[in-house]
A and B are shown apart, each in its own frame.
Chain A
Amino acid sequence: MKDHPDVLERLLPLKPNWFHVMLSLANEDLHGYGIMLEVRERTNGKIRLWPATLYGTLERLLDEGLIAEANQRPPAGEDDARRRYYHLTSLGRRVLAAESTRLEDLVRVIRAKRRVAESEA
Chain B
Amino acid sequence: MESQSRSYGFAYSFYRNLVRFFPHRSRCAFEYELLQTTEDANVWIQHQSPFGLAHLFSDLAVQLVVAYLRECIWDLRYEARLLIRRPVFTFVAVVSMSLAICAGSSFFSELNGTILRDVPGVAKADELITLQQPISFPAYRHFRDHKELFFSTAAYVAPVPFGVSFDGHKERVWGHIVTSDYFSTLGVTAEMGRVLDARDEEKQGTPLVVVSDRFWKSNLGSDPNVIGRAIHINGKLCTVVGVAPHGFQGASPMMFVADLWLALSAGESVAPELADNALERPQFTIFHFLGRRRIGVAPAQIESALDVMQRQMLSDAGHPATENGHLVWVASGGKLIPIRERALGFFAFLPMVVIALLLLIASSNVVNMLLARALDRRREIAVQLAIGAGRARLMRQLIIEGMLIASGAGALGFALTCWLMHLLSRVRLPHAMPVRFNVEVDLRVLVFTIGLTALTGLAIGLLPAIHATNPELVPALKEGANLQLRKRRAFSVRNLLVVSQMAGSLTLLLVTGYIVFGMKYIMSGATGFDAGQTQLISIDPIRDGYSPAQAEEFYPKILDHVKALPGVVSATWTEAIPMQPSGKMTFTTDVGGSKRVDEATKYIVGSDYFRIMGIRILRGRGFVKDDEKRGERSIVVSEALAQTIWKHENPVGRRISLVGRNDVAFDLMNGSTFDYSVTSPEQPYVVVGVAADVLETPIAQPGPAVYLPMTEEAYTNPPFQGITLATRTTSNLDGASIVRSQIAAINGNLTTFNAETIDDWIEQSMYVVKIGLWSYTLMGAFGLILASVGLAGVTAYSVSSRVHEIGIRLALGARPKDILRLIMSEGSKLILAGSCIGIALALLVMRVMAASMDPVAQSIQRSQSDLRIALGALGVLVIVGLLACYLPARRSARVDPVVALRQE
Partners in one complex: yes
Residues in chain A within 8 A of chain B (CB atoms): 31-33, 36, 50-56, 58-59, 62, 82-84
Q: A58–B38 Cα gap in the complex (Å)? A: 15
B33: chain A residues at CB < 8 Å are 31-32, 55, 83-84
Please determine whether A52 and B41 come into contact, CB atoms closer than 8 angstroms: no
B61 smallest CB distance to A (angstroms): 8
Number of interface residues of B (CB under 8 A): 20
Please determine whether B56 and A50 come into contact, CB atoms closer than 8 angstroms: yes
Residue of A nearest to B48 (CB): A48
Q: A16–B242 Cα gap in the complex (Å)? A: 66
Please determine whether B36 and A52 come into contact, CB atoms closer than 8 angstroms: no
A56: chain B residues at CB < 8 Å are 26, 63, 66-67
B56: chain A residues at CB < 8 Å are 50-51
Please determine whether A83 and B29 come into contact, CB atoms closer than 8 angstroms: no
Please determine whether B60 and A36 come into contact, CB atoms closer than 8 angstroms: no
Please name 11 pairs of A and B residues whose Cβ atoms are closer than 8 Å in the assembled complex, sorted by A: A32-B33, A32-B37, A33-B37, A33-B40, A51-B37, A51-B38, A51-B41, A51-B56, A82-B32, A82-B36, A83-B36
A10 smallest CB distance to B (angstroms): 16
Task: Using known A-B contacts A32-B33, A59-B26, determine if residue A52 contacts B59 with beta carbons closer than 8 Å.
Answer: yes
A33: chain B residues at CB < 8 Å are 36-37, 40-41
A30 smallest CB distance to B (angstroms): 12
Cβ proximity bits B5-47 to A, threshold 8 Å, 1 near / 0 not: 0000000000000000000001001101110111011000000
Partner of A50, one of B29, B32, B55, B64: B55
Partner of B59, one of A31, A32, A50, A82: A50
Q: A55–B67 Cα gap in the complex (Å)? A: 11
Residue of B nearest to A52 (CB): B63
Q: Which of B26, B37, B41 has the most CB of A within 10 A?
A: B37
Q: A54–B62 Cα gap in the complex (Å)? A: 12
B62: chain A residues at CB < 8 Å are 52-53
Residue of A nearest to B58 (CB): A50
Q: A55–B141 Cα gap in the complex (Å)? A: 81
Please determine whether B63 and A53 come into contact, CB atoms closer than 8 angstroms: yes
Please determine whether A58 and B36 come into contact, CB atoms closer than 8 angstroms: no
Residues in chain B within 8 A of chain A (CB atoms): 26, 29-30, 32-34, 36-38, 40-41, 55-56, 59-60, 62-64, 66-67
B64: chain A residues at CB < 8 Å are 52
Please determine whether A54 and B67 come into contact, CB atoms closer than 8 angstroms: no
Task: Using known A-B contacts A33-B40, A33-B41, A36-B41, determine if residue A52 contacts B29 with beta carbons closer than 8 Å.
Answer: no
Q: A31–B30 Cα gap in the complex (Å)? A: 12
Please determine whether A36 and B59 come into contact, CB atoms closer than 8 angstroms: no
Q: Which of A31, A51, A55 has the most CB of B within 10 A?
A: A51
Interface of A is mostly: helix
B63: chain A residues at CB < 8 Å are 52-53, 55-56
Please determine whether B40 and A55 come into contact, CB atoms closer than 8 angstroms: no
A52: chain B residues at CB < 8 Å are 34, 59-60, 62-64
Q: A9–B64 Cα gap in the complex (Å)? A: 28
In the A-B complex, the 5 residue pairs with the closest CB atoms: A52-B63, A50-B59, A55-B30, A52-B60, A33-B37
Please determine whether B37 and A54 come into contact, CB atoms closer than 8 angstroms: yes
B462 smallest CB distance to A (angstroms): 30
A88 smallest CB distance to B (angstroms): 18
A53: chain B residues at CB < 8 Å are 59, 62-63
A31: chain B residues at CB < 8 Å are 33
Q: A61–B34 Cα gap in the complex (Å)? A: 16
Please determine whether A59 and B36 come into contact, CB atoms closer than 8 angstroms: no
B36: chain A residues at CB < 8 Å are 32-33, 82-83
Q: Which of A32, A33, A50, A52 has the most CB of B within 10 A?
A: A52
A33-B40, A52-B60, A84-B33 given; 17 more Cβ-contact pairs under 8 Å:
A32-B33, A32-B37, A36-B37, A50-B56, A51-B34, A51-B38, A51-B56, A51-B59, A51-B60, A52-B34, A52-B64, A53-B59, A55-B34, A55-B37, A56-B63, A59-B29, A82-B36
A36: chain B residues at CB < 8 Å are 37, 41
Q: A52–B36 Cα gap in the complex (Å)? A: 12
Residue of A nearest to B60 (CB): A52
Task: Using known A-B contacts A51-B59, A52-B59, determine if residue A59 contacts B37 with beta carbons closer than 8 Å.
Answer: no
A59: chain B residues at CB < 8 Å are 26, 29-30
A54: chain B residues at CB < 8 Å are 37
A96 smallest CB distance to B (angstroms): 22
B289 smallest CB distance to A (angstroms): 68
B26 smallest CB distance to A (angstroms): 6
Q: A29–B34 Cα gap in the complex (Å)? A: 18
A72 smallest CB distance to B (angstroms): 19
Q: Which of A32, A55, A58, A82 has the most CB of B within 10 A?
A: A55
Q: A116–B745 Cα gap in the complex (Å)? A: 91
B11 smallest CB distance to A (angstroms): 13
Q: A31–B34 Cα gap in the complex (Å)? A: 11
Residue of B nearest to A31 (CB): B33
B23 smallest CB distance to A (angstroms): 10
B278 smallest CB distance to A (angstroms): 81
Q: A54–B55 Cα gap in the complex (Å)? A: 14
A32: chain B residues at CB < 8 Å are 33-34, 36-37
Please determine whether A58 and B30 come into contact, CB atoms closer than 8 angstroms: yes
A27 smallest CB distance to B (angstroms): 21
Q: A50–B64 Cα gap in the complex (Å)? A: 13
Q: A36–B55 Cα gap in the complex (Å)? A: 15
Q: A52–B16 Cα gap in the complex (Å)? A: 12
B34 smallest CB distance to A (angstroms): 5
A50: chain B residues at CB < 8 Å are 55-56, 59
B34: chain A residues at CB < 8 Å are 32, 51-52, 55
Q: A53–B34 Cα gap in the complex (Å)? A: 10
B556 smallest CB distance to A (angstroms): 91
B66 smallest CB distance to A (angstroms): 6
Q: A55–B26 Cα gap in the complex (Å)? A: 9
Residue of B nearest to A84 (CB): B33
Residue of B nearest to A62 (CB): B29
Q: A36–B32 Cα gap in the complex (Å)? A: 16
B26: chain A residues at CB < 8 Å are 55-56, 59
Residue of A nearest to B64 (CB): A52
Residue of B nearest to A45 (CB): B44
A59 smallest CB distance to B (angstroms): 6
Q: Which of B29, B32, B41 has the most CB of A within 10 A?
A: B41
Residue of A nearest to B32 (CB): A82
Q: Which of A32, A36, A53, A84 has the most CB of B within 10 A?
A: A32
Q: A60–B33 Cα gap in the complex (Å)? A: 16
Q: A58–B40 Cα gap in the complex (Å)? A: 18
A54 smallest CB distance to B (angstroms): 7
Q: A33–B34 Cα gap in the complex (Å)? A: 9
B59: chain A residues at CB < 8 Å are 50-53
B57 smallest CB distance to A (angstroms): 9
Q: A31–B33 Cα gap in the complex (Å)? A: 9
Residue of B nearest to A58 (CB): B30
A61 smallest CB distance to B (angstroms): 12
Residue of A nearest to B35 (CB): A51
Q: Which of A31, A54, A58, A83 has the most CB of B within 10 A?
A: A54
B40: chain A residues at CB < 8 Å are 33
A44 smallest CB distance to B (angstroms): 14
Q: A35–B666 Cα gap in the complex (Å)? A: 87
A7 smallest CB distance to B (angstroms): 19
Residue of B nearest to A55 (CB): B30
A118 smallest CB distance to B (angstroms): 40
Q: A32–B59 Cα gap in the complex (Å)? A: 16
Q: A58–B41 Cα gap in the complex (Å)? A: 17
Q: A81–B720 Cα gap in the complex (Å)? A: 98
A62 smallest CB distance to B (angstroms): 8
Residue of A nearest to B63 (CB): A52
A82: chain B residues at CB < 8 Å are 32, 36
Q: A52–B31 Cα gap in the complex (Å)? A: 10
B30: chain A residues at CB < 8 Å are 55, 58-59
Residue of A nearest to B38 (CB): A51
Residue of A nearest to B70 (CB): A60
B67: chain A residues at CB < 8 Å are 56
B38: chain A residues at CB < 8 Å are 51
